[in-house]
Amino acid sequence: MAPHRPSILIVNRVYPPMRGSTGRLLHDLARHFVRNGHAVTILVTTNGKSSQSKRGPIAITRVAGASQPGFVGYLKALFRIYHAIVKAPRHEIVITLSDPPLLYLAGYYAATRKKSAHIHWCQDLYPDLAPVLGFSIPSPLLNMAYRWGRKVLNKSACVIAISRCMQRHLVRTGIDMRRTAVIENWPDQELIAPVTVPAGPGPVVVQKELPDNKQLRDRRLYSDPAGKKFRVLYAGSISRAHPVDEVITAAKILLKTHPDIEMVFVGKGDGYETLAQARAAQGLDNIRLMPPQPRASLKTLMESGDVHMVTMHDEALGMLMPSKFYAALGAQRPIVFVGPAESDIARLCAQYGCGKVIKPGDGKALAAAIGLYRTDSESWFNAHAGSAAALKGRLPQEAFALWSNVVRKVLYERPDRPAK
């Protein structure tokens, strides 16, 4: 007899084709669950009317999101999500992500009512992150949300932290260590997929080989087809959790010392407006700003960066893990990380030698690190090899295996497991 495979409901704000890194991760995980025999339903919000559809074997339910701006609209969206979970057929597991904030409250109470196990996949930790992002929330309300949130997380079957520093923060702030597990995110599969080369009557799948040192030196590490620019790539959002001032300082320095270096920012967020203003006011022609690009050009875009830049404020330690880091590993490029030395990114940069760690606020050190990768080929190649080594332990299959272990543990070790 085939083993029983529980049905799984996963709840988030976005899901492809909507943009968002969490939607992409969710889609990858959902496909893994389906391949392992689970019935999977995705519950997401929409700006249009509620609907139900299928994407292959995956069922998708869309409910209306925030119909009005502000706190009231947010609460209404959470209630609609709660109601949709309760109204849907029972799933044995309900997994919530972090968008919208405090989604796990609606997910936990709805799962409890349906006698389902609840797992929270913590991409961003709320309400902890709210002050870091500059949300104006009265202290009594913030404190209430904090206590309420910790109580719910301690009752959930499992809280998946995406980094060790996030797990430490959770435990230090009241979450039972036994309720937590660490499963890192992974690069976009388009970045690490094998290359298919036609041969004979059918395709032959081969793994793409890294270029050797001579090939890279011959191209002088340039991403620009004309061979004139060395590209520092930042791909993704720039929110208030990501520092900008030191980036502007570094751009100002590099414009004088290394005019052949360009800093390219692709995405959206408040920080893009700050960069645009600085570029115009200070004549920083080495800064290029681009809107989000189509997924079809993802691999080309990521591999166009000679160095990838990742940033995070000290105050956000343990509350998020920038997905840009995994994109850099997927492209196997050196990394310059502006962020806390206690973070997992800093630890992995040191462990694998895949990048430089810069203290937030130190624009001079950032410019020096970028300049080193531009002028010192050995430093570039060592970090390039370090990224390739770090990638090997962070492939999707590694994370999927851990997820399968969590699902088994949650279902078959829960004290209220129903009898067959």
Cα 268 to Cα 289: distance, rounded to the nearest angstrom: 9
Q: What's the pLDDT score for residue 15?
A: 93
DSSP 163: S
For the chain, give the percent of residues with pLDDT over 90. Answer: 75
| pLDDT tens string 159-186 | 999 999 999 999 999 999 999 999 999 9
Cα 374 to Cα 353: distance, rounded to the nearest angstrom: 17
CA 45 to chain centre: 19
Task: Of 290-294, 296-300, 307-311, give the range with the top mean pLDDT.
Answer: 307-311
Check if the beta carbon of residue 331 is closer than 8 Å to that of residue 305: yes
Specify whether the backbone of 156 is left (phi greater than 0), alpha (psi in -120 to 50) or beta.
beta
For helices 103-113 and 139-155, angle between their N-to-C axes, nearest 10 degrees: 40
Domain map (residue ranges) of the chain: 8-186+395-412, 210-392
Residue 296 has pLDDT above 90, yes or no: no
Domain 8-186+395-412 matches domain 210-392 at the CATH topology level: yes
Q: What's the pLDDT score for residue 194?
A: 56
Q: What's the pLDDT score for residue 66?
A: 67
User: Looking at domain 8-186+395-412, does it have CATH number 3.40.50.10190?
Assistant: no
Average pLDDT, the chain: 89
Mean pLDDT for the stretch of residues 392-415: 90
Name the more confident of 221 and 343.
Answer: 343
What is the residue whose two structure tokens read 């004290």? Answer: 415
Instruction: List alpha helices for 10-102, DSSP H.
Output: 21-35, 71-87
Mean pLDDT for the stretch of residues 381-392: 96
Q: What's the pLDDT score for residue 3?
A: 58
pLDDT band for position 44 (cuts 50, 70, 90): very high
Does the model's pTM come out above 0.85? yes
Which CATH architecture group holds 210-392? Answer: 3-Layer(aba) Sandwich (3.40)
What is the residue whose two structure tokens read 């004088």? Answer: 256
Residue 56 has pLDDT above 70, yes or no: yes
For CA atoms 211, 267, 58, 3, give the dihedral sign.
Answer: positive
Comparing 44-53, 54-63, 247-256, which segment has the lowest mean pLDDT? Answer: 44-53
Residue 115 has pLDDT above 70, yes or no: yes
Comparing 66-70, 114-118, 383-387, which segment has the lowest mean pLDDT? Answer: 66-70
Rg (CA), the chain: 22
Mean pLDDT for the stretch of residues 349-357: 98
Residue 331 has pLDDT above 90, yes or no: yes
Cα 101 to Cα 128: distance, rounded to the nearest angstrom: 10
Comparing 128-137, 178-187, 346-355, 392-401, which segment has the lowest mean pLDDT? Answer: 128-137
Residue 214 has pLDDT above 60, yes or no: no
Mean pLDDT for the stretch of residues 154-161: 97
Check if the beta carbon of residue 93 is closer than 8 Å to that of residue 119: yes
| pLDDT tens string 218-244 | 444 444 555 578 999 999 999 999 999
Q: In whole angstroms, how far apart are CA 150 and each of 176, 263, 298?
A: 10, 40, 37
Check if the beta carbon of residue 152 is closer than 8 Å to that of residue 108: yes
Mean pLDDT for the stretch of residues 71-86: 89
Q: What's the pLDDT score for residue 68?
A: 66
Q: What's the pLDDT score for residue 76?
A: 86
pLDDT band for position 193 (cuts 50, 70, 90): low
Pairing of strands 202-206, 307-311: unpaired
Cα 87 to Cα 133: distance, rounded to the nearest angstrom: 34
Q: What's the pLDDT score for residue 191?
A: 86
| pLDDT tens string 7-25 | 999 999 999 988 889 999 9
For the chain, give the percent of residues with pLDDT over 70. Answer: 88
CA 72 to chain centre: 28
